Amino acid sequence: MVEFKVVVNDVKTGKSHSIQVSGHHANSLIGKKVGDEVDGIFVSLPGYKLEITGGTDKDGFPIRSDLPGMRRRRLLLTKSQGFKPKEKGLRKKKSVHGNTISQNIVQINMRITKYSSKPIEELLNLGKDKEEKKGGEQ
C-alpha cells in the first residue's frame, strides 16, 4: 500500500502543514507531475486547490521538475535544484528523481493555489487539539 507524507504550504500565512495520505487518495496522486494542480480532497482539504511543487523519493533524492519520468537519473548539475555548490562554476554529477510521482516517492510538497471558505486548521482538527489541551490544564 502506498503512503505519502504531504507538506502543504499556505502562502498567505507562511505556515506549512504535514499530512499523512494513504489508501485510494494516495493511489490517485500516482502519475501526477510537478506543476500539476490537484484537488484538495486527496489530502483532506476539500474546497482547496493545490499545486505540486516537489518532493523526495525513498532514499532522499529530490524530485527535479525538468526531468521527465518516474525513475532516478544521474545528471551533471550546476547551481540548481538538487545541488548547491560551495564554489562558483563547480559542477557535479548527482542523482535526482524524475518529475512524475511514483510508488518510490515518500514526501510530496504542495502549495495552495485556491482557498476554501473554511480555514486549514479547522479541516485538519488542529484547533480542537489546542482547545482540549487548554481545557485539561485549567
Instruction: Judge whether residue 132 has pLDDT over 80.
Output: no
DSSP 88-127: TT--EEEEEE-SB--TTEEEEEEEEEE--SS-HHHHTTHH
pLDDT confidence band for 60 (50 / 70 / 90): very high
pLDDT confidence band for 124 (50 / 70 / 90): confident
- CA–CA gap between residue 99 and residue 14 (Å, rounded): 25
Q: Is residue 120 in a domain?
A: yes
Q: How far lies 84's CA from each of 17, 43, 55, 92, in Å?
A: 26, 31, 17, 10
Enclosing domain of residue 123: 3-71+98-137
Q: Is residue 119 in a domain?
A: yes
Average pLDDT over residues 66-88: 91
- Sign of CA pseudo-dihedral 129, 132, 133, 134: positive
State pTM to two decimals: 0.85
Q: Is residue 7 in a domain?
A: yes
Q: What is the domain count for the chain?
A: 1
Predicted confidence (pLDDT) per residue in 89-100, tens digit: 999 999 999 999
pLDDT confidence band for 80 (50 / 70 / 90): confident
Average pLDDT over residues 65-92: 92
Predicted confidence (pLDDT) per residue in 9-39, tens digit: 999 999 999 999 999 999 999 999 999 999 9
Average pLDDT over residues 41-65: 93
Instruction: Judge whether residue 130 has pLDDT over 70.
Output: no
Q: What is the pLDDT of residue 131?
A: 53
Q: Is residue 38 in a domain?
A: yes
Mean pLDDT of the chain: 89
Q: Is residue 83 in a domain?
A: no
Please return the burial class of 64, using the count of CB atoms within 10 Å of its CB with bins 0-12, 13-18 and 19+.
buried
Q: Is residue 52 in a domain?
A: yes
Nearest to 89 by CA among 75, 77, 78: 78
Beta strands 37-39 and 49-57: pairing type? antiparallel
Q: Is residue 87 in a domain?
A: no
Q: Is residue 89 in a domain?
A: no
